[in-house]
Amino acid sequence: MKLEKMVRKDVLDNGVRLVTEQVTSVRSVSIGIWVDVGSRDERQGEEGLSHFIEHMVFKGTRRRSAETISREIDALGGELNAFTSREGTTFYSTVLDEYVKEGIDLLADIFHHSRFDARELTKEKRVVLEEIRMVEDDPEEHLHDLHTENVFGEHPLGRPILGKVETIQGLQRKKVLSYRSRYYRPSQIVIAVA
């Protein structure tokens, strides 16, 4: 049995690249927004901003609270998540094909309309600081960060993805939004749908 696959790449008028693949053997749809910004792009004093933005998009939009976002994806039986690396930040959703419109709407809403509320920012700083402490308490994870720092030294690739405690503690909403507007431009984005 031969499975047909068709991959298509389009560049939208605003510069966003759209890559789609039809996989006829599955009933699920995965939608990803890949942003070409990771910890390697952070300047001194911005360590951890890429990862922090990844967290903040789930904290509420103009149309949805954080609780509503969670309830909606659960009601669809889907997954909505994100991850940050040294090279990029990815936001994604996976839903059954019959819920593709709802999955796209939810993902687009958190990506474009997150409020970055100052109160939520303060709460999320505590979450990320705890995440940093957990890595420091895990010998394998901590050793990996130390090795990367040793190999790359002062180069941005040597910095931990989660950032530095001092940077996260001092984060202000204005700085987060400034960083986001600098890197979250159409030319930095690939939308992938399979």
**Helix/strand/coil for 84:** strand
> Could you please report the per-residue DSSP string of 120-186?
HHHHHHHHHHHHHHHHHH-HHHHHHHHHHHHHHTTSGGGS-TT--HHHHHT--HHHHHHHHHHH--G
Reply yes or no on whether 141 is catalytic: no
Backbone angles phi, psi at 49, to 5 degrees: -65, -40
Backbone angles phi, psi at 172, to 5 degrees: -120, 150
Catalytic residue among 42, 54, 120, 124: 54
**Helix/strand/coil for 91:** strand
Catalytic positions: 54
